[in-house]
Amino acid sequence: MYKTNFQKNWNNKLLQDNFGTVRLPDAERYFVGSEHEIFLNDVKLGEAKIYAVRNFKFADIRDALAYLDAGMPAAKLAAMLRTMYSKKVEGALQNDTILTHIVFHWKRRDMKAFEQMANNWWQDIADTFYSPQQQFLAL
C-alpha cells in the first residue's frame, strides 16, 4: 500500500467520497486500482483506491479542474503548483511539463480524524465569514 500525503484540504475535497489531486506523474504509484493510505499533514485519514488517472500538460490546466481540485481559478492553481514543485522539477513547471490528475475513492476512513478535519474546516469558515462585527450587524 502506498502513502499519499496532503498539506491542505483544498476545497474541502477530502471530506467527499471521491476526491482528486494533481501530482507529478509516477506510474509506479499512481495507477488505477492502487491502494493508498491518505494523510493530511501526517495524520492518517484512512485508505483510498485510485479509480482514474489522467495525464495532461501543465499548459492545459483549466478552471474546471482547478476549481474542483483546489477551489481556485486555473492561473492561481498553476502559480501554486509552480511554487510547490519548484524544488522537485528543474526549471519549475514549463508549459509542456506533464502532470497527473488522480481520482481516489475512500475505502476506509478514520472517523475521529474526519470529525476533527470537519471541525477545523467549519472553524476556518466561521473565522473567515463571521467576525464579531458581522455577527453584531446580523442581529
Tens-place pLDDT, residues 45-97: 999 999 999 999 999 999 999 999 999 999 999 999 998 888 777 767 889 99
Whichever domain contains 37, its CATH number is 2.30.130.30
- What is the mean pLDDT of the segment spanning 4-21? 93
**Amino acid code (one letter) for 108:** R
C-alpha pair distances (Å), 121 with each of 6, 13, 20, 83: 15, 11, 18, 24
- What is the mean pLDDT of the segment spanning 97-121? 92
Q: How many residues does the chain have?
A: 139
pLDDT higher for 127 or 15?
A: 15
Count of structural domains within the chain: 1
> 114 lies in which domain range?
2-138
Q: Which residues of 21-56 are buried (b: 16+ CB within 10 A; e: fewer)?
A: bbbeeeeeebeeebebebbbeeeebbbbebeebeee
The three cell numbers locating residue 122: 467549519
41, 117 contact by CB (below 8 A): no
pTM value is: 0.83
Average pLDDT, the chain: 89
Tally of helices (H runs) and strands (E runs) in the chain? 4, 5
Question: Residue written as cell 462585527?
Answer: 133
Q: How high is the pLDDT of residue 134?
A: 58
